[in-house]
Each structure stands twice: as structure tokens, then as C-alpha cells.
Amino acid sequence: MERIPRAVYTKELREEAVKLVTEGGLRIPEVGRRLSISASTIRYWGKASREGKLQEVGRQQRPLTEIEMELAQVKRELAQVKMERDILKKATAYFAKESLPGTRS
């Protein structure tokens, strides 16, 4: 699967995530689940905050163009549809097997 472009997080989101860990008493994985951000990213932000460099995080990233954002969204949707298709294939095979004569217990 191709890599989806990096997400661009706002300064406020980074600060809030670090605050939830440091002041809120939440664990990093819990904050990651709540904000839909990987734990390693939050861990990196926490380290940068302790070093006083949180404001510098993300400065070198260029904003994604509209086309790149749309492409990332389409890739996410495609991955979701493929997963749903695979589930439906398995369900179809299961129910087809059940409807064959002599296969029921």
C-alpha cells in the first residue's frame, strides 16, 4: 500500500496533546486514541516540549496541496472499501457453504 502524506498538525493541537499527558495525567496511548494520532508522534512532541522545542516542530513541513489532501482521502476510502469487500467475500463464502445440501449439522 502506498504511503499517505504526513498529516499537518496545528500548534494548538500539539500543545493540547502534550498538556493532556503532562497535566491531565493521561497515558500517551490513551491520548493518541482520543486524538487519532500515533503514540510515537505524541511521544516526540512530549520530548520536544521538555527540551523547549515544541514551537519548532512542523515548521519545515510544507502545507499539503488540495490535490494531495484529496488523494490521501481517496486512498483512505479505497483501503476501507477493500477491507469491506474482503469481509463480504468471506461472509458470502460462509453462507454459500451453509446453503449447500449435506453441509448442515
Question: pLDDT tens for residues 16-57?
Answer: 888 999 888 889 999 888 888 888 989 988 888 888 878 777
The predicted pLDDT at position 61 comes to 65
Q: Find out whether 73 and 7 touch, Cβ atoms under 8 Å.
A: no
Compare 74 and 62 and report the one with higher pLDDT: 74
* Residue indicated by cell numbers 453441509: 103
- List the grid coordinates of 53: 522545542
Q: What is the mean pLDDT of the chain?
A: 82
CA distances from 55 to 23, 40, 50 (A): 18, 18, 11
